Amino acid sequence: MMTKRYKLLVTFILLTLAHWSMAANPLIPAPPQLAATGYLLVDAHSGEVLIQNNADQPLPPASLTKLMTSYIAAVELDKGNIKLDDQVRVSIKAWQAPGSRMFIKEGTFVALEDLLRGIIIQSGNDASIAVAEHIAGSEEAFADLMNKHAARLGMNNTNFLNATGLPETDHYTTASDLAKLARSIIMDHPDHYAMYAEQYFTYNQIRQPNRNKLLWRDRSVDGLKTGHTEEAGYCLVASAERNGMRLISVVMGASSEEARAEESQKLLTYGFRYYETHKLYSANEMLNQPRVWGGVVDSVKLGVANDLYVTIPRGQKEALAASLDVDTVIEAPISSADQFGVVKVKLGEQTLTQTPLIALESVKEGGFFKRIWDQIVLFFVQLIG
């Protein structure tokens, strides 16, 4: 028979092994199944897709189209091509736009900043057309610009025909493409993103609420946009940030305004509960300084072009391992951003990402005698090696 002390020792060992096993294989339930045509959950920093269903299926986006309209406005504002205090003339076409409206009047002039709030908060079709015409001259020309930006962002399953999302044949996008667009709005134009969190906007003495119900229900939610037509159903692209981790959810084709909010909340709750995101390296941070042959200097600084994030199951940080695979021989001349290896990040045996290791500086060729001498030394180094 086992003694009491022996039993306690065995119990302790079994509990310890169980704890280690759970740490190595965290208990993560299956992702929620949503009542929607297509949906996706992605980490904004790492780009890691956590949940997806029909995410690449082309679908009518309804007013989610306006995310591209407001995105282009942000791009043009940052370039200095337009200004928030621009006075935009309202055309007959904008004034007569059907559907959701900001209630601007034909022939009047409206500040661009007000029009942007009309697009983002009130989902105004009239405001969208007015901004499109202000930027590109006509809504048709603006639609061409929308598609050029979509191609640049890698939205490969998207085609826009208007600035509003009003139904048209061959006007479509996907949950995956909308997530890419939302990431660009949030990460590339943070100064303009604050507008997406505003709950109300009053124009022409008409106060309208933001249709994104999550702005009232979840304090971590600060955007982005709703959409609805009979063809598209009820749609919502939402984003939330908790403790430095930002998630983006896309829900398309839900059955009601309430359903799109509830289904989006399911995605966000699951992501924050079971995953965490870590920043491993900063852009332009020196990670290695290998030997350079034939240069005016004998070494070059290597790093990554962009901040490097990974999203992993909660509690798995200790299992992360990063390694640098640096080219064996690096010779001058070197231009900044030339690639000389990769950064590999693994979680246990799983490779999470491989990111180019680039030169953070340029290195010119050395003089004639320096190059000859380095070639001689390199020959013997390789011979010995």
How many angstroms separate the CA atoms of 113 and 70, rounded?
A: 11
Q: Which residues contact 295 (CB under 8 A, 6 or more apart)?
A: 331, 332, 333, 334, 363, 364, 365, 366, 370, 374
- Known catalytic membership, residue 346: no
- Known catalytic membership, residue 138: no
DSSP-assigned states of every residue in 219-252: TTEEEEEEEEETTTEEEEEEEEEETTEEEEEEEE
Of 46, 91, 100, 123, the active-site residue reads 123
Amino acid of residue 286: M
Integer angstrom CA distances of residue 138 from 106, 132, 367 = 15, 6, 58
The token pair that represents 8 in the structure block: 């306690």
Of 46, 63, 128, 176, the active-site residue reads 63
CB 159 within 8 A of CB 146: no
CA 377 to chain centre: 47
How many angstroms separate the CA atoms of 75 and 9, rounded?
A: 65
Among residues 369, 302, 304, 374, the alpha carbon closest in space to that of 332 is found at: 374
Residues 76-103 as b/e (b if ≥16 CB within 10 A, e otherwise) read: bbeeeebeeebebebbeebbebebbbbe
- Known catalytic membership, residue 63: yes
Q: How many CB atoms lie within 10 A of CB 352?
A: 18
Of 46, 66, 128, 225, the active-site residue reads 66
CB 86 within 8 A of CB 112: yes
Q: How many CB atoms lie within 10 A of CB 301?
A: 17
Active site residues: 63, 66, 123
